[in-house]
Amino acid sequence: MEQKYNPLFESFAFRSGVEVKNRLVMAPMTHSSSNEDGTVSDVELDYYARRSEGVGMVITACIYVTPNGKGFPGEFAGDSDAMIPGLTRLANTIKEKGAKAILQIFHGGRRVPPALVPNGDVVSASAVAATESPDVVPRELTHEEIESIIRDFGETTRRAALAGFDGVEIHGANTYLLQQFYSPHSNRRNDQWGGDIDRRLAFPLAVVDEVKRAAAEHANGPFLVGYRFSPEEPETPGLTMEDTFRLVDELAAKDLDYLHVSLFDYHSKPARGADDSKSRLEWIVERVANRVPLMGVGSVHTADDAIDVQQQGAPLVALGRVLLTDPDWVQKVESGREDEIQPKLSLSSQNKLVIPDGLWRMIASKEGWLTFTE
């Protein structure tokens, strides 16, 4: 291995006591490959087994905490104890390969397809449609339903602990329910759960508190809690970098193990709320000021990209698409074989790369997300 890549392979100890062998993480990616009843499938296990050997930590695809939060076909469920046996198999599969297993917990809010949730009842902070699906107007959640969903996040954390996961990541990014409560675009309430910025923060922070409570009560050993967030929204009104700075301040005070910045490209510059003299990641690093570890992600294709993320101030680097095209990316960098990394997908490589049918169809339908070669 080239000496300049050594920082990627240093071990890391989180505040909770969880330790990872290196700074490289498999990013959470939807795979649409679970069984119809929400249980973990064999093809899902094979997919994770193929990608868990090199990285220090695997963050799974998101798991819905309550039935009306299901966001994707083939998404796995965390809403009942009947799911624990399958979750145990998944945690064991990842850990047997030497990586820590982290379960990403989630509610899709207004972004769920009506066909996937009971009675087509799409819910959110307020009855405001998403820009991406203007014809789906969600129903505003009641106070009692909000409190129930908060408890559901805690219950899914309990199941993750019982299943042997090493921690959970709260999915507060990508315009899903937690972000919907914080965003002035989707939250038009005027009660304790919305209005000014303090009240829009109430729901995501209550989820953090409940998840931490459940982890402390049910985990038998070190168990980490991370939080993923998106720094900006294009809508007006919508989240700006100024809003993100406030969110970061609040999360940094919660003694979380890490914050995970959801970016498609880690080089991207702010649009609103901060000038473009620095990348979004650099602005967030400056605001965090070492109060909590950061995880960077977004178009990290090469080992030089990963080092660049670290040099911008994020000690942890999440790898997404590159682990689809080359599950051995980490091992190749570690053994000095970076020139052998495969950056593209061959049309005939699905079985070799152990990519389930559901994920393969998603890849093929997202133009520009990955590059195919004949």
* Band of pLDDT at residue 374, cut at 50, 70 and 90: low
In this predicted structure, what is the pLDDT of residue 258?
Answer: 98
* Band of pLDDT at residue 371, cut at 50, 70 and 90: confident
Q: pTM for the complete prediction?
A: 0.97
How many domains would you assign to the chain? 1
In this predicted structure, what is the pLDDT of residue 347?
Answer: 81
The percent of residues in the chain predicted with pLDDT above 90, rounded, is 95
Judged by average pLDDT, the poorest of 165-169, 243-247, 251-255, 346-350 is: 346-350
Alpha carbons within 13 angstroms on the beta-carbon side of residue 373 total 7
Per residue in 159-172, pLDDT tens?
999 999 999 999 99
For tokens 């405001």, what's the residue? 128
In this predicted structure, what is the pLDDT of residue 365?
Answer: 84
Prior bond to 315 cis, omega within 30?
A: no
Please provide the DSSP assignment of 135-164 as one string: T-PPEEPPHHHHHHHHHHHHHHHHHHHHTT
* Band of pLDDT at residue 1, cut at 50, 70 and 90: confident
Q: Is the pLDDT of residue 328 over 70?
A: yes
Mean pLDDT of 337-358: 92
Q: Is the pLDDT of residue 297 over 80?
A: yes
**Structural domain containing residue 76:** 3-373
Q: Is the distance from CB of 294 to CB of 316 less than 8 angstroms?
A: yes
Among residues 48, 176, 258, 266, which one is catalytic? Answer: 176
Give Cβ neighbours of residue 137 (< 8 Å, ≥ 6 apart): 122, 127, 128, 129
CA 116 to chain centre: 21
Mean pLDDT of 254-262: 98
176 included as an active-site residue: yes
In this predicted structure, what is the pLDDT of residue 10?
Answer: 98
CATH of the domain at 353: 3.20.20.70
Mean pLDDT of 124-148: 97
In this predicted structure, what is the pLDDT of residue 274?
Answer: 97
CA separation for the pair 149, 140 (Å, rounded): 13
